[in-house]
Copies of this chain bind each other. A is one copy, B any other.
Amino acid sequence: MAHNQSAPDATRRSERSRRAIYDAALALVAEVGYPKTTIEGIASRAGVGKQTIYRWWPSKADVLLEAFLDLSEQAAEEAAQDHRGTGGAPAGTQQYAIPDTGDLAADLKYVLRATVDELRNPAFEAPSRALAAEGVVNEELGRRFVARLLEPQLQLYVDRLRSAQEAGDVRPDLDPRIALELFVSPLAQRWLQHTGPVTYDYTDTLVDYALHGLTPR
Contacts and interface: CB of A to CB of B under 8 A. Distances in A.
Nearest to A172: B216
Contacts of A196: 177
A216 to B, nearest CB: 5
Interface string A43-76: 0000000000000000000000000000000000
Contacts of A184: 189
Contacts of A169: 215-216
Counted per complex, copies of this chain come to 4
Interface stretch (A11-19, A86-94, A109-117, A138-146): A138-146
Residue of A150, A171, A202, A211 ringed by the most chain B CB atoms within 10 A:
A171
Interface of A: 33-35, 129-130, 132-137, 139, 142-143, 145-146, 150-151, 154, 161, 168-171, 174-175, 177-179, 181-182, 184-186, 188-190, 192-196, 202, 205-206, 209-217
A77 B132 CA distance: 34
Nearest to A189: B185
B130 A137 contact: yes
A194 B143 contact: yes
Contact of A182 (B142, B145, B182): B182
A137 B211 contact: no
Contacts of A215: 169-171, 211-212
16 contacts: A132-B193, A133-B137, A135-B194, A142-B193, A146-B194, A170-B215, A171-B216, A178-B186, A179-B209, A184-B189, A209-B210, A211-B213, A211-B214, A212-B213, A212-B214, A212-B215
Contacts of A143: 194
B205 A178 contact: yes
6 closest A-B pairs by CB: A213-B213, A181-B186, A133-B136, A185-B186, A185-B185, A185-B189
B170 A181 contact: no
B194 A192 contact: no
A174 B129 CA distance: 30
A204 B145 CA distance: 27
